[in-house]
Amino acid sequence: MSAEDKLKALGLTLPQMPSPIANYVRFKRVGDVVYLSGQGPRKPDGSNHTGKVGRDVGWEEAYEHAKLTGLGLLAAMQEAAGSIDKVEVVKVLGMVNAVPDFADHPKVINGCSDLFVAVLGDNGRHARSAVGMGSLPNNITVEIEAIIRVL
């Protein structure tokens, strides 16, 4: 089953890619390696999910935000490679806008990691860092960036 078929089976669709809000590009390709700029969780209307995880948002809700962010990253992968069937995720950096004593950063970023594996299979397995931040742009709950390889 293709990655696009897996998305459909999960009832998911890739979002439209937003324009960068500052002086950067959505991705940078160097040979067969693509560096994807960080993204946050976007609502269907284009606004962001915001708040401090561990105070305004629980880890379960933030997990869903990380999953939404993963969908945006899959859309960037499709744009960069022409098809998500032609990508392998190499490395993910997940940043969680969390209160200082929050300790479940990996549980939150699993929302993205679990999505990548569900859609891409073994090509979605990756090295990863999941870290807490004192703040993130526009007060988003999570920001995730990725490095992929085009097959």
- In-domain check, residue 106: yes
- In-domain check, residue 131: yes
Kindly report whether the global pTM for this prediction surpasses the value 0.75.
yes
- In-domain check, residue 10: no
Portion of the chain with pLDDT greater than 90, in percent:
92
**CB 135, CB 96: distance < 8 Å:** no
- In-domain check, residue 30: no
pLDDT recorded at residue 20 = 82
Q: How many CA atoms lie within 13 A of 99 on its CB side?
A: 11
> Which residue type occupies 44?
P
Q: What is the pLDDT of residues 66-102, one digit of tens each?
A: 999 999 999 999 999 999 999 999 999 999 999 999 9
**CB 136, CB 142: distance < 8 Å:** yes
Task: Give backbone dihedrals phi and psi of 88, rounded to 5 degrees, phi first.
Answer: -130, 125
Residue 77 CB contacts under 8 Å (≥ 6 apart), including other chains = 34, 36, 84, 87, 146, 148
Q: Tell me the CATH number at 46.
A: 3.30.1330.40
- In-domain check, residue 122: yes
Instruction: Quote the number of domains for the chain.
Output: 1
Enclosing domain of residue 126: 35-135+142-150
- In-domain check, residue 70: yes
